[in-house]
């Protein structure tokens, strides 16, 4: 076994075109949201198969702004949004940041996604939306979720932060609800280093999103001549003499525009998207196949025939009969150069920030189990079969020692 081999959790691929564009942006002096953000939005929408995409400063902002759109359609600040109990904490944070109350539903341990059979019992007269998370890039059960949403006239907003490249029954994740929110953080397949983006087929939603990301202002054209070139804008004083549209605020908004430097990195990332997706998917499939030999004590997610997992990372869950703890396993992996991350927490019962909502430990047994027994490792484009074989050897060594 090659004890000198290391498997870092993530990597970052920045193309030469991105470097050239960043230099161009810096030299131009136009670094705020402008033409390259617009180009990135158009290409991202085309990639996902949606009519619109609106870029923002983080995946959390993408979630929050998608939810905040609902105020234009009758939502109130006392209303509720159903989310899975298990996710990166940004999911729950974004609901609160948008001004709503998160209502949590337990997950299924085999999929790591929200359990549709438990959603209806969480619906109240204040429920306005369901926000399923495609955790680890595995699509949520969208047929069941959309059926419930239609029955109760609810909006569906996909948290697709980790699901770049995922498909569900022949359709791209990101096209399965009213809107979808992606993260473009550096660990993801498509990255702008930081950043996020919302996709939708509804031009009204997109227009509101452009307003929301810039303080709620009335200036929300898809291509803003003022931002791109400081050219004459015939709409600037449409509200009356001396009233600048850029200082008319139609709604409570945020300040979370993507900037041109981030867009430059994102545009380069889109150019190598297919290559990176293929590498990650090959790594994920290879690791999944070889990892099955450990199914007596360890499990992972499975790809069903009707779906394609977007290969964000490789999750590992200790089974209940495991003769060791997650911490023992993680310590052995880390000592052997394999970097790990915990597999998130039950937000309502294991994250202190949500204590004020009044949930009690034990209400979400599956999510709570994953927090104590789950981890994930990288399947990114900078690892290959040698790394995967090394990982398998390390796991075998651990199990031989401890069982």
Q: How far apart are CA 55 and CA 53, in angstroms?
A: 7
pLDDT of residue 224: 67
pLDDT of residue 34: 81
For residue 224, tell me if it sits in a domain. Answer: yes
For residue 22, tell me if it sits in a domain. Answer: yes
For residue 200, tell me if it sits in a domain. Answer: yes
Note whether 47 and 167 are same-domain residues: yes
Note whether 215 and 288 are same-domain residues: no
Q: How far apart are CA 97 and CA 60, in angstroms?
A: 9
Domain C-terminal end among 256, 271, 286: 271
Note whether 267 and 277 are same-domain residues: no
Note whether 247 and 292 are same-domain residues: no
Could you give the residue ranges of the DSSP H alpha helices within 49-126?
Answer: 59-68, 90-97
Residues in the chain: 403
Note whether 142 and 209 are same-domain residues: yes
Structure tokens at 387: 């790394």
Note whether 257 and 300 are same-domain residues: no
pLDDT of residue 144: 98
- Assign 104 to helix, strand or coil: strand
pLDDT of residue 2: 60
- Residue 22's CB: how many other CB atoms inside 10 A? 20
Spacing of C-alpha 249 from chain mean position: 29
- Domain of residue 137: give its range: 16-271
Give the chain's domain count: 2
Query: Residue 240 sits in a domain of what CATH number?
Result: 3.40.640.10
Domain C-terminal end among 240, 271, 302: 271
Strand bridging mode 52-56 / 196-200: antiparallel
For residue 111, tell me if it sits in a domain. Answer: yes
pLDDT of residue 138: 98
For residue 5, tell me if it sits in a domain. Answer: no
b/e map of 166-197 (b: 16 or more CB within 10 Å)? bbbeeebbbbbbbbbbbbbbbbbbbbbebbbb
The label of the residue with tokens 């009758």 reads 74
Domain C-terminal end among 226, 255, 271: 271
Note whether 340 and 390 are same-domain residues: yes
Note whether 248 and 370 are same-domain residues: no
pLDDT of residue 3: 60
Strand order, beta sheet including 196-200? 52-56, 196-200, 179-183, 155-159, 127-130, 80-84, 101-105
For residue 51, tell me if it sits in a domain. Answer: yes
Note whether 120 and 257 are same-domain residues: yes
Note whether 118 and 210 are same-domain residues: yes
Q: How far apart are CA 206 and CA 314, in angstroms?
A: 33
For residue 2, tell me if it sits in a domain. Answer: no
Query: Residue 313 sits in a domain of what CATH number?
Result: 3.90.1150.10
Note whether 306 and 254 are same-domain residues: no
pLDDT tens for each residue of the chain, 403 residues long: 666 799 999 999 999 999 999 999 999 988 887 899 999 999 999 999 999 999 999 999 999 999 999 999 999 999 999 999 999 999 999 999 999 999 999 999 999 999 999 999 999 999 999 999 999 999 999 999 999 999 999 999 999 999 999 999 999 999 999 999 999 999 999 999 999 999 999 999 999 999 999 999 987 767 766 666 666 767 777 777 777 877 889 999 999 999 999 999 999 999 999 999 999 999 999 999 999 999 999 999 999 999 999 999 999 999 999 999 999 999 999 999 999 999 999 999 999 999 999 999 999 999 999 999 999 999 999 999 999 999 999 999 999 999 8
For residue 3, tell me if it sits in a domain. Answer: no
Whether the Cβ atoms of residue 132 and residue 119 lie closer than 8 Å to each other: no
Note whether 326 and 230 are same-domain residues: no
């Amino acid at each position: 076994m090659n004890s000198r081999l290391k498997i870092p959790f993530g990597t970052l691929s920045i193309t030469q075109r991105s470097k050239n564009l960043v230099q161009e942006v810096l030299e131009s002096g136009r670094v705020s949201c402008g033409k390259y953000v617009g180009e990135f939005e158009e290409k991202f929408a085309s990639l996902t198969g949606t009519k619109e995409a609106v870029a923002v400063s983080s995946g959390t902002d993408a979630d929050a702004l998608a939810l905040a759109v609902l105020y234009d359609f009758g939502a109130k600040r006392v209303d509720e949004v159903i989310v899975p109990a298990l996710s990166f904490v940004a999911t729950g944070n974004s609901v609160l940041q948008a001004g709503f109350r998160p209502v949590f539903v337990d997950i299924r341990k085999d999929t790591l996604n929200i359990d549709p059979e438990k959603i209806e019992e969480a619906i109240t007269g204040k429920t306005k939306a369901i926000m399923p998370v495609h955790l680890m890039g595995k699509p949520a059960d969208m047929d069941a979720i959309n059926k419930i949403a239609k029955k109760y006239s609810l909006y569906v907003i996909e948290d697709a932060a980790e699901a770049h490249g995922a498909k569900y029954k022949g359709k791209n994740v990101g096209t399965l609800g009213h809107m979808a929110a992606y993260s473009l953080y550096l660990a993801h397949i498509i990255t702008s280093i930081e950043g996020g983006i919302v996709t939708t087929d509804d031009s009204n939603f997109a227009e509101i999103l452009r307003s929301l990301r810039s303080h709620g202002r009335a200036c929300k054209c898809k291509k803003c001549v003022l931002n791109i070139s400081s050219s004459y804008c015939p709409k600037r004083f449409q509200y009356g003499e001396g009233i600048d549209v850029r200082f008319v605020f139609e709604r409570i908004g945020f300040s979370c525009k993507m900037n041109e430097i981030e867009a430059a990195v994102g545009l380069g990332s889109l150019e190598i998207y297919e290559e990176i997706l293929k590498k990650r998917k090959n790594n994920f499939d290879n690791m999944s196949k070889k990892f099955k030999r450990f199914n007596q004590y360890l499990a992972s997610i499975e790809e069903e025939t009707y779906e394609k997992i977007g290969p964000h990372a490789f999750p590992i869950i200790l089974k209940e009969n495991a003769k060791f703890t997650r911490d023992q396993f993680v310590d052995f992996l880390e000592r052997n150069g394999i970097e790990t991350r915990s597999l998130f927490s039950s937000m309502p019962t294991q994250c202190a920030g949500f204590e004020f909502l009044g949930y009690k430990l034990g209400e979400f047994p599956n999510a709570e189990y994953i927090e104590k027994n789950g981890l994930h490792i990288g399947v990114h484009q900078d690892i290959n079969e040698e790394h995967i074989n090394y990982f398998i050897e390390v796991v075998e060594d651990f199990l031989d020692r401890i069982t």
